[in-house]
């Protein structure tokens, strides 16, 4: 039963009629702003699958990654600066304008729950983190891939979440899993809303979506910009490098802090996931002052060494003279926090 529910909801004619109001819907699916392909042929699939599930050396840490325990009192304490906690991969908890915001809360143990071969998380017992979290005022979802949207995590969070802002087309999954439609608001690219004096904008990315064989690109994908009177933050979302970053920078930037996707890249799907050097360039394009890398330290979804994303990200940031931060998993930090740039993953 749980396995079937992980698929989420099928697309109905009613859904498609609603999606057709978007200029990014071509009549059958959502489209990227520029031509985007995945260069995977039937001949390369067996080799890729063998590497993914059988060649794991170096692609996973030698022991589970520790996550610092949640300090509820410190996190909820009133602060002029936005507070952040990164829980590995793309899970980010934010305290902004005295509201708690959770982005892409995939805290489950397996990024391939419908596959006979699991993709296990680098940290243990992460689903239990949810039990210690405070009430979530707003939950943001960038897209519906399994490594960002997890049935078990959503069900565990359900009683804590007041409101959901999600990519257009993603609401159908939440509704099937029991979330009240009245709590969910869908966003097309550039849609924005004022939430508790935070201007929240859904920004374009170069990616795709889908949870099964028949729903590829049947929901949208993107990132989130959050702007207050004193801070401007961007969560890039999963994306290949593209012209949209310069457009975001021109339209919404500059940004005080950018949380950049960096990891799970491969030459066969280069157009939908950036190389680390491109992640830094994208941060330059959006005019970000301070940057950090996410979409790593969670799962081995590509063939690179598990620390390759952050090592290359740091090297390029130094080369480009971009200020960066390296938070530990579970660490509370702010944009004016300047801890030692400790390479915690190498210990």
| pLDDT at site 339 | 56
Contacts 24+ apart (CB under 8 A), 186-191: 187/220, 187/222, 188/22, 188/24, 188/220, 189/24, 189/220, 189/222, 190/251
Domain locations along the chain: 56-334
Q: Which CATH superfamily is domain 56-334 in?
A: Ribonuclease Z/Hydroxyacylglutathione hydrolase-like (3.60.15.10)
| pLDDT at site 42 | 53
- Neighbouring CB atoms inside 10 A of 196's CB total 13
Q: What pTM does this model have?
A: 0.96
- Neighbouring CB atoms inside 10 A of 35's CB total 8
The distance from CA 214 to its chain's CA centroid, rounded to whole angstroms, is 23
Which conformational region is residue 83 in: left (phi greater than 0), alpha (psi within -120 to 50 degrees), or beta?
A: beta
- At 260-277, the pLDDT tens digits run 999 999 998 999 999 999
| Cα–Cα distance measured from residue 256 to residue 334, given in angstroms and rounded to the nearest whole number | 11
pLDDT higher than 80, residue 3: no
pLDDT higher than 70, residue 54: no
- Residue among 318, 321, 323 at smallest CA distance from 337: 323
| Cα–Cα distance measured from residue 96 to residue 118, given in angstroms and rounded to the nearest whole number | 35
| Cα–Cα distance measured from residue 164 to residue 237, given in angstroms and rounded to the nearest whole number | 17
- At 57-104, the pLDDT tens digits run 899 999 999 999 999 999 999 999 999 999 999 999 999 999 999 999
- Residue among 291, 231, 208 at smallest CA distance from 38: 208
Torsion of CA 139, 142, 144, 149, to 10 degrees: -40
248, 225 in Cβ contact below 8 A? yes
| pLDDT at site 347 | 76
| pLDDT at site 47 | 63
- 31 vs 55, higher pLDDT: 31
Residues counted in the chain: 347
């Amino acid at each position: 039963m749980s396995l079937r529910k992980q698929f989420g909801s099928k697309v109905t004619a009613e859904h498609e009629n609603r999606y057709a109001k978007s200029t990014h819907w071509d009549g059958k699916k959502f489209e990227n702003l520029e031509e985007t392909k995945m260069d995977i042929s039937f001949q390369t699939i067996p080799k890729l699958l063998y590497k993914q599930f059988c060649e794991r050396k170096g692609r996973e840490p030698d022991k589970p990654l520790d996550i610092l325990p949640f300090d509820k009192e410190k996190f909820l304490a009133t602060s002029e600066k936005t507070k952040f906690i990164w829980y590995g991969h793309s899970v980010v908890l934010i305290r902004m304008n005295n509201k708690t915001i959770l982005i892409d809360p995939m805290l489950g143990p397996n990024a391939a729950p419908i596959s006979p071969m699991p993709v296990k998380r680098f940290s243990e017992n992460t689903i239990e983190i949810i039990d210690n979290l405070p009430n979530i005022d707003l939950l943001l979802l960038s897209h519906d891939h399994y490594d960002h949207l997890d049935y078990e995590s959503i069900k565990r969070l359900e009683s804590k979440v007041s409101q959901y802002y999600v990519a257009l087309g993603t609401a159908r999954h939440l509704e099937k899993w029991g979330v009240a439609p009245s709590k969910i608001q869908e966003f097309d690219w550039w849609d924005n809303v004022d939430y508790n004096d935070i201007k929240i904008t859904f920004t374009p990315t170069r990616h795709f979506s889908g949870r099964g064989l028949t729903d590829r690109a049947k929901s949208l994908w993107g990132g989130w910009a959050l702007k207050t009177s004193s801070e401007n933050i961007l969560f890039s979302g999963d994306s290949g490098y593209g012209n949209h970053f310069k457009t975001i920078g021109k339209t919404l930037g500059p940004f005080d802090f950018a949380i950049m996707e960096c990891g799970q890249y491969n030459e066969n799907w280069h157009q939908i996931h950036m190389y680390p050097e491109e992640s830094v360039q994208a941060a330059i394009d959006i005019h970000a002052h301070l940057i950090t890398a996410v979409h790593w330290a969670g799962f081995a979804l590509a063939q690179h060494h598990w620390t390759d994303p952050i090592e290359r990200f740091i090297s390029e940031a130094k080369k480009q003279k971009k200020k960066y931060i390296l938070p530990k998993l579970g660490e509370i930090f702010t944009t004016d926090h300047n801890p030692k740039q400790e390479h915690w993953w190498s210990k």
